[in-house]
Structure 1
Amino acid sequence: MAEINDSPVAGSTDLPPAPETDDLKTETKAEGDGKAAPDPALYRYIKDDLFTSEIFKVEIRNLPKFVGFNDLKKFLTKHGVNPHKIKLLGKQMFAFVTFKNEEERDKAMKMVHGMQWKGQVLSVRLAKPKADPIQRTRRMQEDGGSGAGQPAAKRPKGNGEDGDGDGEEEEPLTVQIANVVTPLWNVPYEEQLRMKEQEVVEVLQRLAKEIGSTNKSMLPWLFAQKGKYNKMCCPLEAVKPSPTQTEYRNKCEFLISAGADGEDKTIGFRLGKYKGGSCAVVGPAETCHVSAETKTVVREFQKFIRTTAYSVYCPETYEGHWKQLTVRTTRTKQAMAIAFFNPQKLEEDELSTLKDSMKKFFTEGEGKESGVTSLYFAREGQRRSPNLEDLPCELVAGDACIHEELLGLKFRISPHSFFQVNTAAAEVLYSAVGEWAQLDQDSTVLDVCCGTGTIGISLAKRVKRVIGIEMCQEAVQDAKVNAELNGLSNIEFHCGKAEDVFPNILNAVVSPSVTAIVDPPRAGLHSKVILAIRRAAHLKRLVYVACNAKAAMNNFIDLCRAPSNRVHGPPFRPVRAMAVDLFPQTKHVEMLLLLERVDYDSRP
C-alpha cells in the first residue's frame, strides 16, 4: 500500500536525497580519478556516527548499450556483488552504485573491474559522495550566485534584483505553503476531477500501445477496444469524487524546524525542498486538507516543545533534537501523536524527564484539551535507517492504538500501520473493489499489501476465505485484531515481503474461484509477484489499486505481455478502469484497474 504525503518533510530522512541526473553529470566531471578528498563543507553529512551509503560509492563505466536497471542489478548479483542503490545513466553508459559497507564496495571493484559484459570491458572506480544540497546552495551563493539569505530556487520573481523592475511582492506564506502541499487549492473541484480523469485516460492509452508491442496475439481485440474507447485499452468509468474535499487527511507528518516567519521551533510543512536549499517550515493553520483536530494537536505540541530546552534538529549540521510530529486522527474522535526526537548524547535520565514532562503537559497541563488519546515518543538511534517511520515508538500516555470505523466495520490502528489517509473516500474505493471482484461464497480472495486488513475484512463475509499479506509486522498484528473485532474467522494474515510470501501461498490455494486484490506501494509490485500471478493459471481475476499508475505501468505491461521464457502462463487483459479521488486539492489520484485472464479457448 502507498501513502501519499502531500508535502515531504525533512524529518523523514537525515541525509541528502538520491542524486538527480543533472547533478550526476556535474558530479562526474568533478570526480576525476576519485582520489580527491571530499570538501568538508559540502560533505558535512559524512560522519562516523551517521550511516549513508554515499560513503561507499563507485562508478561503473563502459556499460553495454541499452542496459536497464534490472539488467545491471541481475548482472552484479550473479557475480556475487550486493548493491544497495543503483543510479543508471543509459545515454552516458555508466552508473553510480552504492554499497552498505566498505567490504562490499571493495569486493565490487575487485570483481567487476575489467570484466567483459556483452562485448564491453567494464571499468570501476571510486566515486565521491553526493554533495549536501544545502551546503552546495550556500557555496553557490558565496561564489556569486543569487543573493544571500535565500536559495536561488526560492527567490521571488519580479523583486527588481533581476533587472525587470516590476517590483512584484512575494506571496504571503499561507499562499506559498498552499501551493506546495495542495497545489490545486485554487482550482474548482470539478476541474480537478477532470484533470485526474484525463491522467488516467493517458495511462490507458499508453497501456494500449504497450500491449500492442508486447503481445501481438491481442492485436485484433486491442484494435476493437481502441476504436470503442478513445484509443484506450478498456472502458473508463466516471471518476469517483471524494465525499469530502477539505479537512480529509487522517494522517499528517509535520517537520519540526525553524519557521519561515522567523519563529523558532515551528511545526509544519516544509516550504521548499531540501535539495533546493530550504529547511524552513510553515504551520498548517491555513491549509485546507488538514483537519481541525490535527491543527489543534499541532498547536498544543508546538507550545510544549517551545517550553523545552531542546532545539530543533538541523539537517545542515546534524545537531539538535526535535525532528518530526506525526498526527493520526479518526472519525471516532481519537487522536494519536508521535514525536520523533534525536537524543544526540543525552543521558537516559534526561530523556526520562523529557517524556515525563510531555506526559504531564498532555494529561494535566495545557495540552489536556488537545484531543490526544495516544501519545508516543520515538527516538532515533545511531546509524539507523534514515526512515523515521521505521523507528520503534514508546507509549508515553493514553491508549496504545486508535480505532476507526469504515463501511460499518471497526479497525485498530497502531503508530506505523497503513490506513488510507482519506477515510470517506476509502469507503468509495473499497466499495468499488468489492463490486468489481465479482465474489461469491466459493471465492478465495488474496489481499496483497493488505496493511491493517481493510480491503480483505470488508469483503470477508461475501467469500469463503481471505488471505492477507503484509510486510509490516505491526500492521499484521492490527489486521488479526481487526478480524476478531469484526467477528471474522475465515481470514488469515501472513507477514513478509510480498515477493517472498506470495508465490508459496498462491501455489497452495485450492479453490474454484481465486481473485487477487493488490494495493502496493507507489513503485508497484515486485517482479517476482507478477511472475507468480502469471504462473498461477487458476487465478482468473485481478483488481489492481494503483496510487501511482505511471509507476505501476511495468506491472500492467508484464501482466498483459505474451508468454515467454521469463513470463509463464496465459496473460491478463484490462477489462475496466476508474479514477477515485482520495487526495482532493492535490495532483494525486488512485486508479482502479480490473484485469481478467485471457481464455485462449474462447477469446475472439
Structure 2
Amino acid sequence: MDEEIETPITDEIIEPSTEPKTEEKGYLARDEYTSERFKLELNNLPKYFGFGDLKKKLKLLGVNFVKIKVPKSATHAYVNFRNEEDREKGLKLLNGWTYRGNKIEVSHAKPATDVMFRSAKPKKNDDKRNHHMNNQNDSDLPDEIKIQNSATPLWNLSYEEQLIKKSTIVQEFLKGLEQKIKETSSKTVTIPFEGIKPSPVIDGYRNKCEFSCGKGNNNEDKVVGFRYGEYRYGIDRVGSPNVCKNVSDKMKLVVQHFQDHIRSRSSPWYSAETHLGCWRQLTVRTSRLNHLMIMISFCQGQLSPEEIDEEKKALLNYFTHDAGSICKVTNIFFNVEKNKAGNEIIQSEILLGESYIIEKLFDFQFHISAKAFFQANTQGAEVLYSLIKDSMKLDNETIVLDICCGTGTIGITLANNVKHVIGIEMNKDAVEDAKRNAQLNNINNIDFIAEKIESIIHKLVKKYDQQRLIAILDPPRAGVHRKVIQTLRSTENIKVLGYVACNPQLATHNLIDLTRPQSRAYQGEPFEIITTTAVDLFPHTPHYELFILFQR
C-alpha cells in the first residue's frame, strides 16, 4: 500500500523533453538522500497494464528499484534506484526487454521538479491548481477567512445549507454511477437515495487533528496550526485554527500553549521545503472520557541526543508543571524523525501516561493508540453504525464478516445483535488493538484475523456453510483491490453486503465491480444496490460517509 506504484502520479513527474533550471532541482543540493538522483525512464509500455504486474516483472528480472512512478493514462514510467550502481544494473537488465509484446525503451531520466519551484511556475491547463491558489491566497482576504476556506470550506453556509449541498453532491455522484453501471451491464438502474443524516454535533466535533509548525502569513516565526492550502500547491504558510469551527476549544488551547512553548525554545520550526529545522507537527487526540493525548513530531536536525533530551524534559515540564498544565494533557508522545520527506521515526518515547487513550462509543469503550484509526467524529460514528445495524436486518442467526475491520469498532458494536462476528484486517497492529477492545468490552462472540480477505474467506465460508452470512466492507479511501471484490462475488453464501465509502468517487471501481455481469473474472451473481444513505461526519467540509446496501 505504501509503494507509489499503486497510485498513478502526475504532478511529481517531469517529462523527458523538459530541461529544468538549476533552482527547480534545489532539493538535490541538500545534504540528504533522494532517489530522484538515480532514475530511469521506461518508454513504449503497453497502453493497458497492471501496476502490480509491472512491479512483479521488474523484481523477477532482478531490478533493484526503490519505487516506481506511473503517470496517469501514460505508456511510460519512472523507476527510481537507491544508488548509481543499482541504476546502471537496471539499465542493462531492461535494455531490450520485451513486456507484453512491447520492446521497452530505457533511458536516464531527469529529477522531478521541486514542489515549491513547480508551484510558482505557470502551467497550461492547470485550472485546478490555479483555482486552489486563487481561493486560498487571495491577498484581499483576511487570514481568518483564508484559513477557514482551507480547513472548513463550507464554514460560511448554515448547517441546513451544508446538508442540502452535500445531498446534491451525493445525488450527482449516484447519477454518474447509474450511467457507469449501465455501460458495464447494459442495464438501466435507478439507485435509491434515502438522504443525508446530520451530525449530532456541528462544531468542535473532531477528536483528532494534526497541526503543522511553520511560518505565518505575515512572516511570524513558529506558528502552529493549519496550512493555508496544500503543500503540493506550493502553500507552506501556517495559520491559527482558532476560527475553525470543527476544532474544539480544548484543542485550540493546546495549540496555543504548544506554540508559546516552542517559541520559548531555540530549536527552529521544520521547513518542508528545505527539510531543515526541528518542530514539525503537533497531533492532538481527545476522548469523551476527558483523555487528551498530544504527539510531537520532532526532526533531529543538528541536535545531539543530549539536546533532544533537553527538549523532551522542557516539553514535559511545561505541560505538567508550567503554564501548559491548564490544558490537562494526559498522554505525551515524542517522536524523533530524520530530516527528510519520508519522516522516518528513529525514536519514539512516551513522556506521560499510557500508549493509548480510551474513547466511549455507545456503551462500549475503545483503546485508541497513537497511530490507530478511529472515526474523527465520535457522535457521528454512532449515527453511521446505527444505520449499518438497522439496514442489515441482523438477528441472532447472523454471521457477520467485518472486512477491513481496523480496530474492531463496527464488529464490536454489532456483536450483541448477531450470532458471531469475524473481523478481517491486513494490519497486524490493528488486529491486536481489536482483540484488546473485544476483551475490554467482554465480547466473546467475535474473532479477529490478520490476513488478506481473498486468502481466508473461502475457508471461513466453508466453516459457516448453510448459515446466514453477511459482509460489511469499510475500506480505506480508495477502496479495496479488485481481488477482494472478485472473492466476495464468488462467495455465493454472501447475499447481503454493506459498503461504507468515505470517498465514493475513489471507490467507484469497487461499486461497479460488485454489480457488473457475471464473467470469468467476476464469478457469482452480481449484487444490486438496494439503498444508499449519506451520513455527515464532517460538518463545515465537503466530506461525508456514504453507506450502500447491496443484495443478490
TM-score by length of 1: 0.81
Q: Secondary structure at the match of 1:582?
A: coil
In the alignment, the residues of structure 1 paired with residue 137 and residue 381 of structure 2 have an alpha-carbon distance, to the nearest angstrom, of 43
Give the superposition deviation at 1:525.
0.7
Residue in 1 that maps onto 2:412: 457
Post-superposition Cα deviations, 1:277-301, rounded to whole Å, max 9, x if no partner, equal 3211001111111011111111111
**Alignment check: 8 A CA contact 2:424 2:453 kept:** yes
Change (3 A) 1:407 1:306: same
Change (3 A) 1:391 1:471: farther
In the alignment, the residues of structure 2 paired with residue 475 and residue 329 of structure 1 have an alpha-carbon distance, to the nearest angstrom, of 19
Residue in 2 that maps onto 1:29: 17
Change (3 A) 1:266 1:382: closer
In the alignment, the residues of structure 1 paired with residue 34 and residue 240 of structure 2 have an alpha-carbon distance, to the nearest angstrom, of 30
Choose which of 558, 561, 570 in structure 1 pairs with 2:516: 561
Residue in 2 that maps onto 1:60: 42
Residue in 2 that maps onto 1:87: 70
**Alignment check: 8 A CA contact 1:464 1:490 kept:** yes
Query: What letter corresponds to residue 416 of structure 2 in structure 1?
Result: K
Change (3 A) 1:467 1:190: same
Post-superposition Cα deviations, 1:70-121, rounded to whole Å, max 9, x if no partner, equal 675576567666773332343x633334456667655654444434455543
Change (3 A) 1:450 1:47: farther
Change (3 A) 1:70 1:331: same
1:315 and 2:272 equivalent?
yes
Residue in 2 that maps onto 1:195: 165
Q: CA RMSD in A?
A: 3.3
Residue in 1 that maps onto 2:222: 265
In the alignment, the residues of structure 2 paired with residue 591 and residue 288 of structure 1 have an alpha-carbon distance, to the nearest angstrom, of 23
- Aligned 1:177-196 pairs, distance under 5 A: 177-196=147-166
Choose which of 470, 478, 483 in structure 1 pairs with 2:438: 483
Change (3 A) 1:119 1:19: closer
In the alignment, the residues of structure 1 paired with residue 531 and residue 399 of structure 2 have an alpha-carbon distance, to the nearest angstrom, of 21
Post-superposition Cα deviations, 1:200-247, rounded to whole Å, max 9, x if no partner, equal 22332233223233335xx3xxx3xx4xxxxx3x21112111111211
**Alignment check: 8 A CA contact 1:257 1:313 kept:** yes
Change (3 A) 1:103 1:580: farther
Residue in 1 that maps onto 2:127: none
Choose which of 201, 208, 211 in structure 1 pairs with 2:181: 211
In the alignment, the residues of structure 2 paired with residue 519 and residue 154 of structure 1 have an alpha-carbon distance, to the nearest angstrom, of 33
Give the superposition deviation at 1:452.
2.0
Change (3 A) 1:132 1:200: same
**Alignment check: 8 A CA contact 1:414 1:474 kept:** no
**Alignment check: 8 A CA contact 1:507 1:536 kept:** no
1:436 and 2:416 equivalent?
no
Change (3 A) 1:318 1:23: closer
Post-superposition Cα deviations, 1:555-597, rounded to whole Å, max 9, x if no partner, equal 1111122232322222212111111111111111111011123
In the alignment, the residues of structure 2 paired with residue 465 and residue 97 of structure 1 have an alpha-carbon distance, to the nearest angstrom, of 46
Q: Secondary structure at the match of 2:422?
A: strand
Post-superposition Cα deviations, 1:183-207, rounded to whole Å, max 9, x if no partner, equal 1111222222122222222332233
Give the superposition deviation at 1:539.
1.7
1:349 and 2:349 equivalent?
no
In the alignment, the residues of structure 1 paired with residue 113 and residue 330 of structure 2 have an alpha-carbon distance, to the nearest angstrom, of 42
In the alignment, the residues of structure 2 paired with residue 342 and residue 76 of structure 1 have an alpha-carbon distance, to the nearest angstrom, of 34
Residue in 1 that maps onto 2:197: 240
In the alignment, the residues of structure 1 paired with residue 360 and residue 426 of structure 2 have an alpha-carbon distance, to the nearest angstrom, of 23
In the alignment, the residues of structure 1 paired with residue 543 and residue 479 of structure 2 have an alpha-carbon distance, to the nearest angstrom, of 15
Residue in 2 that maps onto 1:542: 497
Choose which of 106, 111, 125 in structure 2 pairs with 1:129: 111
Residue in 2 that maps onto 1:148: none
Give the superposition deviation at 1:303.
1.4
1:306 and 2:263 equivalent?
yes
Choose which of 264, 282, 292 in structure 2 pairs with 1:335: 292
Query: What letter corresponds to residue 328 of structure 2 in structure 1?
Result: G
Change (3 A) 1:106 1:208: farther
**Alignment check: 8 A CA contact 2:275 2:339 kept:** no
Residue in 2 that maps onto 1:284: 241
**Alignment check: 8 A CA contact 1:135 1:316 kept:** no
Specify which structure has the bigger relative contact order, considering alpha-carbon pairs within 8 angstroms and separated by 6 or more residues: 1
Choose which of 412, 415, 434 in structure 1 pairs with 2:367: 412
In the alignment, the residues of structure 2 paired with residue 94 and residue 499 of structure 1 have an alpha-carbon distance, to the nearest angstrom, of 31
**Alignment check: 8 A CA contact 1:257 1:280 kept:** yes
In the alignment, the residues of structure 2 paired with residue 23 and residue 360 of structure 1 have an alpha-carbon distance, to the nearest angstrom, of 42
**Alignment check: 8 A CA contact 1:112 1:124 kept:** yes
**Alignment check: 8 A CA contact 2:408 2:437 kept:** yes
TM-score by length of 2: 0.88
Change (3 A) 1:209 1:278: closer
Residue in 2 that maps onto 1:251: 208
Query: What letter corresponds to residue 301 of structure 1 in structure 2?
Result: F
In the alignment, the residues of structure 1 paired with residue 311 and residue 380 of structure 2 have an alpha-carbon distance, to the nearest angstrom, of 39
Gaps of 5+ in 2: 123-129
1:363 and 2:345 equivalent?
no
Post-superposition Cα deviations, 1:459-497, rounded to whole Å, max 9, x if no partner, equal 011112212233444433332222112111111223355
In the alignment, the residues of structure 2 paired with residue 508 and residue 107 of structure 1 have an alpha-carbon distance, to the nearest angstrom, of 49
In the alignment, the residues of structure 1 paired with residue 137 and residue 465 of structure 2 have an alpha-carbon distance, to the nearest angstrom, of 68
Change (3 A) 1:157 1:359: closer
* More divergent stretch after superposition (477-486 vs 322-331): 477-486
Change (3 A) 1:158 1:115: closer
In the alignment, the residues of structure 1 paired with residue 85 and residue 158 of structure 2 have an alpha-carbon distance, to the nearest angstrom, of 56
Change (3 A) 1:214 1:77: farther
In the alignment, the residues of structure 2 paired with residue 108 and residue 534 of structure 1 have an alpha-carbon distance, to the nearest angstrom, of 40
Give the superposition deviation at 1:406.
1.1
Identity of aligned residues (%): 41
1:572 and 2:533 equivalent?
no
Query: What letter corresponds to residue 279 of structure 1 in structure 2?
Result: D
Change (3 A) 1:503 1:320: farther
**Alignment check: 8 A CA contact 1:446 1:468 kept:** yes
**Alignment check: 8 A CA contact 1:69 1:86 kept:** no
Change (3 A) 1:70 1:381: closer
Give the superposition deviation at 1:372.
1.1
Change (3 A) 1:77 1:203: farther
**Alignment check: 8 A CA contact 1:476 1:493 kept:** yes
* More divergent stretch after superposition (398-407 vs 496-505): 496-505
Query: What letter corresponds to residue 397 of structure 1 in structure 2?
Result: L
Change (3 A) 1:428 1:170: same
Residue in 2 that maps onto 1:492: 447
